[in-house]
Structure 1
Amino acid sequence: MDADPDTLTLDIDGWEGPLDLLLALARTQKVDLRQLSILELVEQYLNFIDRARALKLEVAADYLVMAAWLAYLKSALLLPRDPEQEPSPEELALRLQLRLERLSAMREAGARLLARDRLGRDVFVRAAPEGLKTIRTAAWQADLYDLIEAYGRVTARTRPVMHIVASRPVMTLEAALDRVARLVGETIDWATIEKFLPEGAGGTFRKSALASSFLASLELARQGRVELRQQAPFAPLYLRRPA
């Protein structure tokens, strides 16, 4: 037996050497399998499997396939061949060879993948850039006038609105009714409305007296106590007692 625990070396009548070499020679018909004992081959194979407890599963599977293929070739040579049997032993040998080559390619690819550097263990990705942080500082340029103007705008928005009516002399409607009714009774001919205003009235009091006297004239005309006359729009308004 070979010292390598992963290699099965046979020692049977007619052959001494590795099993894979025997299989290769048997396929090319360079070894006469009729001279080999399949029983001894199987016994040595089983002993090899029993001793190699730590043998890899794929290695054991390869040897199992090779041993089974040798047994099949042996039986095909010993038994008469059926011409109608498909596939032929040669075709089966070719299929087995292709499958073994494909299995070897897959194992090699798997070994290469496992031997590659792993992300996070052997190689590391570059960290994301943090970028530049922009710090902005406002620089205000203002003089005293700008500050006072800004303060005035702010206070104008927040200050409560208050409307104070200044005290001023006015003529009430009641006083104008009494005055116009009394003076129109003393007037025989037509007189303008300004004749019924208080003497010496001026400024804002005159405006108030004129407005109140006009409303009083309309109310007295409605009651039939005075007659009104106006020649054109915005012309002087005349009053008199009814005829």
Structure 2
Amino acid sequence: MQNAEDDYKVKLEIFEGPLDLLLYLIKKDEIDIYNVSIERITSQYLSYIETFKALNIELASEFIVMAANLMYLKSRTLLPQNVQPPEEDADEEDPRWELIRQLVEYKKFKDAARFLGQRDSEGAEFFAATPELPDLTEPEQGMPQVGIFDLIRAFQKVLKKFEDTHTLREIVDDRWTVSDKIDHLLSVIPVGGRVQFETLFTEATSRSEVIITFLAMLELMKLNFLKIEQEKVLGLITVLRPEDKPFTVVPMDVMEGGEYGG
């Protein structure tokens, strides 16, 4: 029986980088960026990396470099001050500050880019008479955007819940292909329909089936057959099927994908 890693390769374009993931984890915990716990954020970051590996999602090398840096910072925070390794040009006692500075600067540029993007979109329909001073504190309007990290977080909760309730795994023939689950998802989510993310995994009987269902969902999202919404930041995720995608079309590369074994 082949390993899952050899069966299906997820080619998911993740435009967010490791700093985006760290900012997401800080935002999720609702803590101040200057009070970040290296031990906690390292544990959460590595958990996401493991989930990406379980889904066979290719990660940029920057994610691995950041993981190594976090583990180094964590090891330094655990050492007594009198045995801390010497750092050239370092005038702070707290080893977190360099990472915190990177996060603060990155967040400033990201917020500015998002603001300029919104202004560019809004300004396309108007002719401004006078220039307007930007207000970077202006709250975001509309439905919160759902990123890959929100999806991975929701998937982690589903996977943990499944593993907690299936301690004694039944011996079943649970070989599924991604195309099987694509057909299944399109059959349970009608055109124009909406379902809660968690409910799509209630009938799964094995860990591999949970993973394959999620991979099929990612494929359908890439093809715009499914969309996701979140009513509030870090809230429940809803999966919906647009009305302009009434037909079931499974790409050939997905149909020819291998099977997952238990």
TMscore range, shorter length:
under 0.3
* Greater RCO, CA 8 A, separation 6+: 2
Larger radius of gyration: 1
- TM-score (normalised: structure 2): 0.26
